[in-house]
């Protein structure tokens, strides 16, 4: 930009702009993208079916299937869990300037790892086997993503091609594992053996029964104590509390004390409580605690980028790697870390599929997901904001879930959903298209997204 | 006498600024008309309008007495206007001939029917280039690849490119920015030859000295307005500077005597390779003591960039040794160099110095975000960071609506102030300032200069690298001239003269030719 | 091979004599390596015939990879990154199959099956080109006019193609279908195909392979010897400079992306008009991306891209030969090989391969 134009750029408008205006800035374009995609989808249905009624029936069926019908909401929530985790993975990549299209492959690897560990830990109590299986999935996904990450950092090979290659390798690898070394000899179809019941992901309906085991209760109590500790850290850090509780040892005492107290109450009280009153009946036996894990992951990602030094350096690398080098940031380490975290999230998603969602609690041969590309759309739609990702994932989960009823009711093929999702991605990627459609004037602003297309040579 | 070019009432508005405010500008046939003004005055905008890159909001343009519109660069070329941009419009992987014929390619007649996929006639183009080269004394090799050419040669290619298209009016935008004083003199010879052959030249610069050397008329612009025109014989540097800035300008900074103390930076026989595997720094030894400013003069491209990168850990040194306060930092990482007490104002502030999409607050802790008190082991301490940011913005007079504003929307001067604030606000022993005032307005230049001298007076060792000889001469206590990777000579600043330095910058050392 | 590619880097002033010698030597060494490798794995059963078949198969499978790479070269030389080649090829494959079938069925009533087959195949090819062109035009508009991130825009193309082909497949093509007219027959070039060894490999191929081989020379000529090519390269390296000389940057980019789309259409048609006579969802299996790798390997030149495609094709054909002779090795393991090979090759090449300077950057007139 020539210096005269530089001097001419307006200073940003004052911060106090009104809540509605800021809301529009944040989500306006995304909403428009969604609405437009649905409109165009409706148009396609109208054209291919010939009648407007079909469009109404289709969208009505979609809505009913997603929320209204029996178990509709449950299935929608179940379908949104992998979307949340995969989109978080993609978002972590984007914020660090990396395009991780390999979430699909990392998802597979996570599933393979979980299937293997899950069936290998027969007889081990849940307090060990469940975290172990999840950890294995996370580790598998992390390694699967770290390899292209390292190749990018060290050799400059663009991660798009490498992660896509890793995807295909992952598909073949999964097929190999299921048909060969890990094949269940007793089953007729090619699949892995059923995982140990202790390694299964808890469903909400099964919580009271699970809590009967004191080890499990203990684990839940630990988790409750940890969450309490996090909350207390925030509370104690507030200025008003700073005055009351001075001194490091005093603070530590308060934190530990409160956390331990809460932990004990949970340990003793929760099993009793759930046995007497627990809202999740068998009707919800598909809704699993992976949902909590996914939401926790979203909070963790938010915390990573808003509060930590690692998050700061990742954002720097994503926004301007040259400046990051100059500022002393180790680019290689940051890129590999970002990819590893991204892959870990995708791996956990795959783990949850096996441990909590699959009917056979195993990995079958024809294990296809197609979640990968959709999560790119969700991450972009939510502008990499973890809470937006939860909302977007819920929406996409609803679409995926409701598509069956839509097809049943109106005869419109499920694949129209893919078309709508592709359109969403198109409109989110090119906001100019939406602006052009609706004749919205755009403000010239310095780029806020980390530019992905920096060419092939690193 | 017909005016080769006449522009009246030219007005151009950009969002938020009036870049050209009813400008009147004319060019007589066969004259060199210098257009003077500081960065941001609007000279480039005016020239871009004349070259068809922008359309004026108001105003009229006439060429050779005929009113006309210039709708695009293509149109400008067709009407006989050629422009040599400050940042060359040359394509490095192509040859000189290919660059020159681009857009009006000569094709082999026999294949004309194939239209855009006919065969290029390289031979006839080369022939024509050689003819022009002879005629105007501009030595260029049509078959050389542009990426292999030196900067001065590239500039000649740009001029030939304009002449190849029969330009009668030539606009030269800051042509001497990348030349040694001697090369600039060569350019002036070429310019005189060109007008001798009937061309007319507009010569844009911000260097006062040059306008006296070669122009027939000087026009000064300031803040989008034409302040006045004057003949060189009737003008003085002070007068022109005052016209440029609008107030009395002290052309050289007031500084006290230096009191150098212990050596801080010691460089021994440093060798550094550039990206193309050439030895950019070839055996450089120097020493900077606390409380002194060592200025490295030299035209860009003689290894200064690589030297700065090696000293700050951004590039591996092939050989040699660098010590800062006794600590060996030859192969240190940037972070280690910083912890040794170094501050670095980089050459390219937008590429290396700032993250444009981050806020002012974030940029101020770009290098120190992980250190206490800005962060604990894992988490960052935003309240402390913001408090310090507010203080720094106030101290360094950074014009920004808030510390949360994106630094990309600040002006160049304010951006540089952010970098200066970040680097100079911590306890440092060694400051490396690389082209610290490039592209800045006079006010910001003064500010940065004062800060650098202040750092020196606080006991810092300062290494100043700059292509602006004036800056080097006014700030440095000692001056080292760098040429093709060597330090040719180091002089006391008070004793050095422009002529001396100019010769050294061109590689001419008294007893031997390099 | 790398020396050859390096000397072809600038594309001009190629010293043809030297290059041919080097190519000949490398080819000979390569052939020997192939023979040795095959025998190592298979254990002596693969002799002359088998090696020749493998090499012929190499050229066959290199065809879609090379065509994908050529599409990439055209687009990227003008400055537009094109990830969506896979999607374009997939779409073209499906359209080719469907049109082939449909036209054949309708023509069968009026002509004899053989002629109907010939006509339907070529019409199908044209339809495939059009379908790829449509996707390419979409990518062009989104990237050039709306200045979207080009990698995301390419990804959109891929997703769209997956969605549309999946949808249409499920809707119309999955059920029992009447037999189609089959794939393109092998065209034996008279005289040349009788040359021992080389004749079998080079001159007994299907038409798309010959088209691909001709395209190498055509693209090389256009890029490096014509005004079109000069302007394209200028626009891809320094669009502003080209703009100041009156070249319409947008027009050049649109044109090149469209042409690239047509070439990708050829590549996609290969799957259903030359390789097999059916369409399966996702049948392109990443060959579009391998084509991108070949483009990078070839430093954005057509001959280099062909070399890269041949290398990846070699990996593929060795894999399938090995699978035939050693059924005890589970098929998925060698199937991973092409992708691993791609990653390895890219790692070695990328540092030295410089893309066009303005690749991936949307151009804005000031």
Taking residues B137-165, report their average pLDDT. 89
Mean pLDDT within A122-128: 82
Is the distance from CB of C244 to CB of B73 less than 8 angstroms? yes
Which residue did the predictor score with more confidence, B294 or C49? Answer: B294
B360 and B317 part of one domain: no
**Closest in A156, A173, A433 to C142, CB measured:** A433
Q: Which of B191, B215, B245 corresponds to the end of one domain? A: B245
Q: What percent of chain B has pLDDT over 70?
A: 97
Confidence of residue C44 (pLDDT cuts 50, 70, 90): low
| pLDDT score recorded for residue C41 | 65
Q: What pLDDT score was predicted for residue B248?
A: 64
CATH assignment at residue B332: 3.40.50.300
Q: Which of B497-506, C18-27, C54-63 has the highest mean pLDDT?
A: C54-63
Distance CA B471, CA B151 (A): 22
Report the residue from C237, C243, C245 with minimal CB separation from B93: C237
Whether A444 and chain B come into contact, CB under 8 Å, resolves to yes
Cβ of B91 within 8 Å of Cβ of C366? The answer is: no
Do B335 and B271 reside in the same domain of the chain?
Answer: yes
CA distance C299 to C352: 9
Query: Which pLDDT score is estimated for C16?
Result: 42
Q: Are residues B478 and B491 in the same domain?
A: yes
> What tokens appear for B268 in the block?
């021994």
Q: Are A364 and A358 in contact (CB under 8 A)?
A: yes
Residue % of chain B over a pLDDT of 90: 28
Secondary structure of chain A in the HEC alphabet? CCHHHHHHCCCCCCCCCCHHHHHHHHHHHHHHHHHHHHHHHHHHHHHHHCCHHHHHHHHHHHHHHHHHCCCHHHHHHHHHHHHHHHHHHHHHHHHCCCCCCCHHHHHHHHHHHHHHHHHHCCCCCHHHHHHHHHHHHHHHHHHHHHHHHHHHHHHCCCHHHHHHHHHHHHHHHHHHHHHCCCCCCCCCCCECCCCCHHHCCCECCCHHHHHCCHHHHHHHHHHHHHHHHHHHHHHHHCHHHHHHCCCHHHHHHHHHHHHHHHHHHHHHHHHHHHHHCCCCCHHHCCCECHHHHHHHHHHHHHHHHHHEHHHHHHHHHHHCHHHHHHCCCCHHHHHHHHHHHHHHHHHHHHHHHHHHHCCCCCCECCCCCCHHHHHHHHHHHCCCCHHHHHHHHHHHHHHHHHHHHHHHHHCCCCHHHHHHHHHHHHHHHCHHHHHHHHCCCCCCCCCCCCCCCCCCCC
List the single residue in A with minimal CA-CA distance to C148.
A430
d(CA B426, CA B436): 18
Does one domain contain both B473 and B329? yes
| B312 CB within 8 Å of a chain A CB | yes
Q: What is the mean pLDDT of chain A?
A: 83
Query: Residues 177..206 of A with a Cβ closer than 8 Å to C: which?
Result: 179-180
Number of folded domains in chain B?
3
| Cα of A312 to nearest chain B Cα, Å | 8
* pLDDT value at A3 more than 60: no
Q: Which residues of chain C have a CB within 8 Å of the CB of B92?
A: 237-238, 357
- In terms of CA atoms, which chain B residue is nearest residue C234? B91
**Structural domains present in chain A:** 49-205+280-438 (1.10.3470)
Any domain includes B311 = yes
Q: Does B418 have pLDDT greater than 60?
A: yes
Over residues B288-312, mean pLDDT: 89
Q: Where are the alpha helices (DSSP H) in B113-197?
A: 122-136, 151-164, 181-196
Q: Which of C225, C245, C354, C366 to mutate to test the interface with B (most CBs of B within 10 A)?
A: C245
Highest averaged pLDDT of the listed ranges B323-332, C35-44, C214-223: C214-223
Report the sign of the C-alpha dihedral through residues A419, C89, C301, C22, in that order.
Answer: positive
pLDDT of C279 reads 86
Q: How far apart are CA C311 and CA A159, in angstroms?
A: 21
Q: Could you give the CA distance from residue A243 to residue A259 in angstroms, rounded to a whole number? A: 21
Asked which of A45-49, B155-159, B293-297, C267-271 is least confident by mean pLDDT, the reply is A45-49
- Which one of C147, C339, C353 has the shortest CB-CB distance to A457? C353
Residues B298 and B360 in one domain: no
Rounded percentage of chain C residues whose pLDDT exceeds 70: 86
How confident is residue C164, by pLDDT bands cut at 50, 70 and 90? confident
Pair (B269, B239) in one structural domain: no
| Contact between chains at C350 and A156 (C-beta distance less than 8 A) | yes
Among candidate residues B426, B455, B472, the one where a domain is terminated: B426
Residue A4's pLDDT band (cuts 50, 70, 90): very low
Question: Which of A415, A438, A458 has the highest number of chain C CBs within 10 A, making it the mutation to test binding with C?
Answer: A415
Average pLDDT for residues A90-100, to the nearest whole number?
94
Q: What is the pLDDT of residues B462-498, one digit of tens each?
A: 999 998 888 898 899 999 999 888 888 888 888 888 8
| Range from A84-98, A324-338, B358-372, C155-169 carrying the lowest mean pLDDT | C155-169
User: Confidence class of residue A372 from pLDDT cuts 50, 70 and 90?
Assistant: confident
Predicted confidence (pLDDT) per residue in A156-187, tens digit: 888 888 999 999 999 999 988 888 888 887 87
Contact between C128 and C95 under an 8 Å Cβ cutoff? The reply is yes
CB contacts under 8 A, A 302-331 vs B, are 307-310, 312-313, 315-316, 319-320, 322-330
Judge: B409–A11 Cβ closer than 8 Å, yes or no. Answer: yes
Q: Given B245, B273, B300, which residue is the final one in a domain?
A: B245
> In this model, does residue C15 exceed pLDDT 70?
no
User: What per-residue confidence (pLDDT) applies to C6?
Assistant: 31
Q: Write the pLDDT tens digit of every residue in B216-232.
A: 999 999 888 888 899 98
Q: Render pLDDT for C81-104 as a digit per residue (tens, 0 to 9).
A: 999 999 999 999 999 999 988 888
What pLDDT score does A220 carry? 84
pLDDT tier, C215 (very low <50, low <70, confident <90, very high otherwise): very high
Distance from CA of C363 to the nearest CA of B (A): 15
pLDDT at B465: 94
Question: Shortest CB distance from B73 goes to which of C12, C228, C244?
Answer: C244
Looking at residue B408, its pLDDT comes to 86
Rounded Cα gap, residues C366 and C362, in angstroms: 12
Q: Could you tell me if A217 and A271 are in contact, meaning their C-beta atoms sit under 8 angstroms apart?
A: yes
The 3-state secondary structure of B250-272 reads CCCCCCCCCCCCCEEEEEEEEEE
Give residue A152's pLDDT band: very low, low, confident or very high (50, 70, 90): very high
User: Nearest-CA distance from B135 to chain A in Å?
Assistant: 34
Is A327 within 8 Å of B367 when comparing Cβ atoms? yes
Domain span including residue B267: 252-341+427-514
Distance CA C278, CA A338 (A): 41
More confident call, A453 vs A220: A220
Q: Which is it for strands B461-466 and B430-434: parallel, antiparallel or unpaired?
A: parallel
- Answer yes or no: is pLDDT of A125 > 90: no
Residue A272 has what pLDDT?
80
Spell out which residues of chain A touch residue B45, defining contact as CB-CB under 8 Å: 2, 4
Transcribe C275-343 into DSSP letters: I-SS--TTTTTTHHHHHHHHHHHTTT-HHHHHHHHHHHHHHHHHHHHHHHH-TTS-THHHHHHHHHHHH
Mean pLDDT of B96-103: 92
A446 touches chain C (CB under 8 A): no
Of residues A247 and A172, which shows the higher confidence score?
A: A172
The yes-or-no verdict on residue C47 having pLDDT over 70 is: no
pLDDT, tens digit, 9 for 90 and up, residues B274-285: 887 888 888 899
pLDDT of residue C222 exceeding 90, the answer is yes
**What is the reported pLDDT for C262?**
96
B116·C226 Cβ contact <8 A: yes
By the CB < 8 Å criterion, does B87 face chain C? Answer: no
Query: In this structure, is residue B361 part of a structural domain?
Result: yes
**Nearest chain C CA: its distance from B364 CA (Å):** 29
Position C3 scores a pLDDT of: 32
A276 to chain B, any CB pair closer than 8 A? The answer is no
Among B173-187, B306-320, C288-302, the least confident range: B173-187
- Closest-CA distance, C338 to chain B, in angstroms, reads 33
Q: How far is B501 from chain C (nearest CA, A)?
A: 34
Average pLDDT over residues B238-256: 72
Tell if the CB–CB gap between B92 and C10 is shorter than 8 Å. no
> pLDDT, tens digit, for every residue of C101-117?
888 888 878 888 888 88
Give the CA angle between residues B238, B239, B242 to the nearest 5°: 85
For B438-451, the pLDDT digits (tens) are 878 777 888 889 89
Q: Which of C185, C191, C228 is nearest to C210 (CA)?
A: C185
Q: Is there a single domain that holds both residue B240 and residue B258?
A: no
What pLDDT does residue A11 have?
43
Q: Is B379 on the interface with A (CB under 8 A)?
A: yes
* Contact list, B117 vs chain C (CB under 8 Å): 221-222, 226-229
Q: Which residue of C has its CA nearest to A411?
A: C171
The whole-angstrom separation of Cα B418 and Cα B353 is 9
**Chain C interface, mutation test: which of A93, A420, A430, most C Cβ atoms within 10 Å?**
A430
Minimal Cα–Cα distance from B106 to chain C, Å?
A: 8
**Chain length of chain A:** 458
Residue B197, CA distances (Å) to A3, B81, B135, B163 in order: 34, 16, 9, 12
Q: Cβ separation of B89 and C241 shorter than 8 Å?
A: yes
Count Cβ atoms below 10 Å from residue B320 Cβ, excluding itself. 17
> What does the pLDDT read at residue C144?
92
- B121: buried, middle or exposed (CB in 10 Å: 19+, 13-18, 0-12)? middle
Task: Provide the residue ranges of all domains of chain C, joining segments of one domain with +.
Answer: 2-352
Band of pLDDT at residue C12, cut at 50, 70 and 90 = very low
**pLDDT of B431 higher than 90:** yes
In chain A, which residues have their Cβ closer than 8 Å to the Cβ of B358? 315-316, 319
Residue C34 has pLDDT above 80, yes or no: no
Statement to judge: residues B412 and B514 lie in one domain: no
pLDDT of the residue at A80: 92
Higher model confidence: residue A362 or residue C161? C161
Same domain? For B512 and B477 the reply is yes
Do B300 and B235 sit in the same domain of this protein? no
pLDDT digits (tens, 9 = 90+) for C254-271: 999 999 999 999 999 999
Min distance A63 CA to chain C CA atoms (Å): 21
Determine contact, residues A90/A438, Cβ cutoff 8 Å.
no
Give Cα C178 to chain centroid, integer Å.
29
Residue B386 lies in a domain: yes
- Which of A333-342, B35-44, B95-104, B162-171 is predicted least confidently? B35-44
Q: How many CB atoms lie within 10 A of CB C267?
A: 31
C366 pLDDT above the threshold of 90: no
Of A302-306, A398-402, C124-128, the range with the lowest mean pLDDT is A398-402
Chain B residue with CA closest to A447: the answer is B357
Q: Which chains touch A (3 or more CB pairs under 8 A)?
A: B, C
User: Scanning the structure block, which residue is given the tokens 């680097």?
Assistant: B423
Tell me whether residues A165 and C147 touch, CB distance under 8 A: no
The pLDDT tens digits for B354-404 are: 999 999 999 999 988 888 788 888 888 888 899 999 999 998 888 888 888
**Cβ(C169)–Cβ(C94) below 8 Å:** yes
Which of C12, C230, C237 lies closest to B105 in CB terms? C230
B66 and B175, same domain (yes or no): yes
Report d(CA B444, CA B450) in Å as an integer: 10
Q: How confident is the model at residue A210 (pLDDT cuts 50, 70, 90)?
A: confident
pLDDT score of C7: 29
Residues of C in contact with B94 (CB under 8 A): 230, 233-234, 237
The top-level CATH class assigned to C2-352 is: mainly alpha
Distance CA A365, CA A192 (A): 9
């Amino acid at each position: 930009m020539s210096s005269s134009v530089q001097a001419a750029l307006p200073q940003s408008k004052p911060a106090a702009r009104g809540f509605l205006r800021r809301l529009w800035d944040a989500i306006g374009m995304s909403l428009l993208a969604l609405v437009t995609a649905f409109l165009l989808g409706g148009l396609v249905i109208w054209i291919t079916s010939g009648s407007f009624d079909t469009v109404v029936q289709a969208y009505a069926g979609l809505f009913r299937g997603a929320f209204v019908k029996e178990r509709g909401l449950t299935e929608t929530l179940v379908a949104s869990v992998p979307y949340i985790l995969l989109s978080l993975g993609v978002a972590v990549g984007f914020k660090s300037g990396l395009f991780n299209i390999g979430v699909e492959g990392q998802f597979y690897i996570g599933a393979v790892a979980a299937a293997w560990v899950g069936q290998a830990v027969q007889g081990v109590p849940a307090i060990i086997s469940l975290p172990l299986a999840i950890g294995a999935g996370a580790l598998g996904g992390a390694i699967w993503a770290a390899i292209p990450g390292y190749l990018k950092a060290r050799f400059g090979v663009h991660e798009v091609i490498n992660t896509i290659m890793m995807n295909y390798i992952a598909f073949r690898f999964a097929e190999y594992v299921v048909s060969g070394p890990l094949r269940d000899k007793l089953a007729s179809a090619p699949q892995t053996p059923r995982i140990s019941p202790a390694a299964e992901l808890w469903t909400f309906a099964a919580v009271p029964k699970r809590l009967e085991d004191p080890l499990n209760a203990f684990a839940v109590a630990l988790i409750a104590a940890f969450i309490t500790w996090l909350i207390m850290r925030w509370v104690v850090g507030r200025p008003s509390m700073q005055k009351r509780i001075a001194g490091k040892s005093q603070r530590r005492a308060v934190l530990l004390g409160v956390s331990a107290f809460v932990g004990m109450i949970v340990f003793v009280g929760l099993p009793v409580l759930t046995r007497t009153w627990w809202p999740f009946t068998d009707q919800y036996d598909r809704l699993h605690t992976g949902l909590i894990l996914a939401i926790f992951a979203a909070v963790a990602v938010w915390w990573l980028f808003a509060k930590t030094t690692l998050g700061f350096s990742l954002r720097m690398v994503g926004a301007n790697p040259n400046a990051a080098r100059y500022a002393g940031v180790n680019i290689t380490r940051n890129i590999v870390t970002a990819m590893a975290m991204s892959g870990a999230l995708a791996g956990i998603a795959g783990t949850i599929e096996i441990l909590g969602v699959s009917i056979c609690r195993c990995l079958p041969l024809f294990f296809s997901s197609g979640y990968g590309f959709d999560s790119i759309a969700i991450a972009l739609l939510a502008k990499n904001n973890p809470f937006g990702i939860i909302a977007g994932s819920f929406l996409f989960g609803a679409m995926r879930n409701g598509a069956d009823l839509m097809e049943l009711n109106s005869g419109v093929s499920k694949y129209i959903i893919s078309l709508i999702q592709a359109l969403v991605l198109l409109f989110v990627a090119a906001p100019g298209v939406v602006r052009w459609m609706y004749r919205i004037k755009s403000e010239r602003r310095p780029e806020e997204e980390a530019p992905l297309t920096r060419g092939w040579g690193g | 006498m017909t005016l080769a070019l006449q522009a009246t009432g030219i007005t151009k508005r950009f969002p938020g600024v009036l870049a050209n405010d009813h400008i009147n500008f004319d060019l007589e046939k066969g004259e060199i008309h210098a257009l003077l003004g500081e960065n941001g005055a609007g000279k480039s905008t005016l020239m871009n309008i004349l070259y068809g890159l922008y359309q004026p909001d108001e105003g009229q343009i006439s060429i050779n007495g005929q009113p006309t519109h210039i709708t695009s660069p293509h149109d400008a070329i067709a009407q006989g206007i050629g422009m040599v941009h400050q940042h060359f419009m040359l394509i490095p992987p192509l040859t000189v001939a290919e660059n020159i014929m681009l857009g009006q390619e000569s094709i082999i007649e026999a294949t004309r029917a194939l239209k855009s996929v006919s065969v290029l006639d390289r031979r006839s183009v080369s022939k024509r280039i050689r003819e022009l080269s002879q005629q105007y004394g501009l030595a260029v090799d049509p078959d050389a690849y542009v990426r292999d050419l030196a900067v001065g040669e590239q500039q000649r290619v740009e001029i030939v490119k304009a002449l190849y298209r029969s330009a009668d009016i030539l606009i030269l935008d800051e042509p001497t920015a990348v030349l040694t004083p001697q090369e600039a003199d060569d350019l002036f010879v070429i310019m005189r030859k060109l007008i001798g052959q009937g061309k007319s030249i507009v010569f844009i610069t911000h260097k006062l000295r040059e306008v006296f050397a070669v122009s027939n008329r000087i026009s000064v612009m300031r803040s989008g307005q034409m302040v006045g025109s004057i003949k060189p014989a009737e003008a003085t540097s002070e007068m022109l500077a005052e016209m440029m800035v609008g107030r009395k300008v002290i052309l050289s900074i007031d500084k006290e005597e230096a009191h150098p103390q212990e050596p801080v930076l010691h460089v021994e026989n440093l060798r550094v390779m550039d990206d193309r595997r050439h030895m950019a720094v070839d055996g450089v030894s120097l020493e900077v003591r606390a409380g002194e400013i060592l200025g490295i003069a030299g035209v860009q491209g003689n290894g200064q960039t690589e030297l700065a990168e090696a000293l700050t850990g951004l590039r591996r040194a092939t050989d040699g040794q660098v010590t800062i306060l006794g600590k060996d930092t030859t192969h240190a990482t940037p972070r280690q160099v910083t912890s040794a007490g170094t501050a670095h104002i980089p050459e390219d502030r937008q590429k290396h110095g700032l993250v444009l999409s981050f806020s002012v607050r974030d940029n101020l802790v770009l290098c120190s975000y992980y250190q206490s008190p800005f962060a604990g082991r894992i988490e960052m301490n935003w309240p402390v960071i913001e408090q310090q940011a507010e203080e720094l913005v106030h101290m360094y007079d950074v014009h920004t609506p808030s510390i949360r504003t994106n630094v990309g929307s600040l002006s160049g001067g304010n951006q540089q102030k952010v970098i200066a604030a970040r680097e100079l606000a911590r306890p440092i022993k060694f400051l490396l300032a690389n082209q610290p005032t490039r592209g800045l307005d006079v006010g910001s230049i003064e500010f940065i200069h004062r800060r650098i001298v202040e750092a020196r007076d606080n006991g810092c060792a300062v290494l100043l690298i700059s292509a602006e000889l004036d800056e080097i001469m006014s700030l440095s206590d000692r001056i080292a001239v760098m040429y093709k990777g060597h330090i040719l000579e180091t002089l006391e600043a008070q004793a050095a003269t422009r002529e001396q330095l100019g010769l050294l910058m061109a590689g001419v050392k008294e007893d031997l030719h390099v | 091979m790398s020396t050859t590619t390096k000397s072809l880097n600038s594309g001009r002033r190629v010293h043809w004599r030297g290059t041919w010698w080097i190519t000949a030597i490398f080819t000979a060494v390569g052939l020997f390596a192939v023979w040795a490798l095959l025998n190592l794995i298979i254990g002596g059963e693969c002799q002359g015939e088998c090696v020749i078949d493998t090499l012929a198969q190499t050229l066959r499978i290199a065809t879609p990879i090379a065509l994908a790479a050529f599409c990439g070269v055209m687009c990227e030389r003008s400055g537009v990154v094109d990830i969506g080649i896979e999607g374009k090829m997939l779409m073209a494959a499906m359209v080719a199959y469907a049109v082939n079938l449909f036209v054949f069925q309708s023509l069968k009533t009026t002509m004899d099956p053989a002629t109907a087959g010939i006509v339907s195949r070529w019409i199908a090819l044209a339809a495939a080109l059009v379908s790829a062109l449509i996707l390419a035009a979409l990518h062009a508009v989104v990237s050039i006019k709306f200045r979207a991130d080009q990698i995301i825009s390419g990804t959109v193309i891929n997703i769209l193609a997956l969605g549309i082909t999946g949808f249409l497949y499920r809707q119309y093509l999955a059920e029992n279908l009447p037999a189609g007219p089959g794939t393109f027959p092998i065209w034996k070039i008279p005289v040349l195909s009788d040359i021992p060894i080389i004749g079998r490999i080079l001159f007994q191929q299907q038409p798309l392979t010959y088209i691909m081989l001709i395209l190498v020379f055509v693209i090389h000529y256009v890029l490096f010897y014509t005004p079109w090519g000069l302007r394209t390269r200028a626009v891809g390296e320094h669009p502003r400079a080209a703009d100041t000389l009156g070249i319409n940057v947008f027009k050049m980019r649109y044109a090149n992306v469209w042409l690239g789309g047509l070439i990708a259409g050829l590549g996609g048609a290969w799957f259903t008009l030359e390789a097999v006579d059916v369409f399966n969802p996702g049948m392109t299996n990443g060959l579009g991306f391998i084509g991108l790798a070949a483009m990078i390997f070839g430093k954005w030149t057509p001959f280099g891209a062909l070399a890269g495609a041949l290398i990846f094709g070699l990996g593929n054909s060795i894999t399938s030969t090995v699978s035939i002779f050693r059924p005890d090795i589970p098929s998925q393991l060698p199937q991973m090989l092409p992708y691993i090979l791609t990653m390895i090759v890219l790692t070695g090449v990328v540092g030295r391969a410089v893309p066009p300077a303005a690749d991936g950057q949307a151009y804005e007139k000031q």
